[in-house]
């Protein structure tokens, strides 16, 4: 009978841990796709900073102006945890400015699906950028 409260507490802790990973993935994507690179960096591993600085330095005023009024919308579709410290969040982003070639007119994408690698460090889930996010599914606009 004493094991039941321990099992329930363990399940709750695992669920809470899982939810924190989802929340951090969501908050990171919302910041990144709305060009808040400082907030995205706070939710990323230190080595991801170079990719965020690269993205920020290549973001033009025209791209900022092209972002829809309400900004990009983010939904975490799935979080697959490989082990205690590695996972991948599948994130759907709507109404975001799609990366284009330098000098090209910015394009707003209807939807994109992104796989975002995450690592757990010091008890906190962080995004580990290995490059700039690329959509796995292209918009049909």
> For 39-91, what is each residue's pLDDT tens digit?
999 999 999 999 999 999 989 999 999 999 999 999 999 999 888 899 999 99
Q: φ and ψ at 28, to 5 degrees?
A: -65, -50
**Average pLDDT of the chain?**
86
Whole-structure pTM value = 0.83
Residue closest to 130 by CA, chosen among 116, 141, 120: 116
Domain boundaries, the chain: 3-127
With tokens 């460090």, the residue in question is 121
Could you tell me if 94 and 110 are in contact, meaning their C-beta atoms sit under 8 angstroms apart? yes
Q: Which fold has domain 3-127?
A: Nuclear Transport Factor 2; Chain: A, (3.10.450)
Q: What is the pLDDT of residues 86-141, one digit of tens each?
A: 999 999 999 999 877 777 889 999 999 999 999 999 999 999 999 989 887 544 44
Supply the pLDDT for residue 13. Answer: 44
């Amino acid at each position: 009978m004493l094991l039941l409260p321990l099992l329930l507490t363990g399940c709750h802790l695992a669920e809470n841990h899982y939810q924190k990973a989802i929340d951090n993935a969501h908050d990171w994507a919302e910041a990144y796709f709305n060009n808040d690179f400082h907030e995205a960096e706070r939710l990323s591993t230190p080595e991801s900073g170079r990719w965020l600085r690269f993205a920020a330095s290549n973001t033009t005023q025209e791209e900022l102006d092209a972002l829809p009024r309400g900004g990009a919308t983010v939904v975490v579709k799935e979080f697959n945890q490989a082990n205690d410290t590695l996972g991948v969040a599948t994130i759907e982003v709507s109404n975001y400015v799609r990366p284009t070639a330098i000098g090209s007119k910015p394009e707003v994408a209807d939807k994109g699906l992104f796989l975002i690698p995450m690592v757990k460090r010091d008890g906190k889930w962080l995004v580990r950028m290995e490059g700039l996010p690329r959509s796995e599914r292209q918009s049909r606009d």
